[in-house]
């Protein structure tokens, strides 16, 4: 979410100038301009106050992301069945592969 765009959009939808929104929120017009222009980020309290004065309410939710399914997990039983020496050989092969991929 682009917070600069969010503040600008809320202000315009409310039909307010930057100066009027700043006055209502108890801050300077230059602060609103810098936030909307992306030159500075607003503290959560400032953002909430600006949006409230434009007639909006900020709702923030914290949602757990599901872990992506990985085909790599399917290889765990095979890796566990290897001897220590075979596992080291696998790590060496993977290391050489990654080094070659980075080079070219």
Q: Kindly report the average pLDDT of the chain as a whole number.
A: 90
Q: DSSP letter at 37?
A: T
Residues shown for the chain: 104
Question: The pTM is what?
Answer: 0.59
Question: What tens digit of pLDDT does each residue of 26-48 get?
Answer: 999 999 999 999 999 888 899 99
Report the candidate in 68, 51, 48 with the shortest Cα–Cα distance to residue 16.
Answer: 51
CA dihedral 48, 53, 54, 60 (to 10 degrees): 20
- CA distances to 6, 81, 91 from 94, in Å: 45, 18, 5
- How far apart, in whole angstroms, are the C-alpha atoms of residue 14 and residue 7? 11
- How far apart, in whole angstroms, are the C-alpha atoms of residue 68 and residue 97? 24
Question: What tens digit of pLDDT does each residue of 40-82 get?
Answer: 988 889 999 999 999 999 888 888 887 667 677 788 888 899 9
- How far apart, in whole angstroms, are the C-alpha atoms of residue 48 and residue 23? 15
């Amino acid at each position: 979410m682009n917070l600069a765009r969010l503040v600008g959009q809320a202000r315009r939808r409310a039909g307010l100038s930057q100066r009027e929104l700043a006055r209502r929120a108890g801050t300077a017009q230059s602060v609103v301009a810098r936030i909307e222009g992306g030159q500075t980020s607003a503290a959560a309290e400032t953002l909430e106050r600006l949006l409230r004065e434009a007639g909006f309410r900020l709702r923030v939710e914290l949602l757990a992301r599901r872990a992506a399914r990985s085909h790599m997990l399917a290889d765990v039983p095979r890796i566990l069945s290897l001897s220590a020496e075979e596992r080291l050989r696998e790590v060496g092969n993977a290391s050489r592969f990654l080094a070659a991929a980075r080079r070219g």
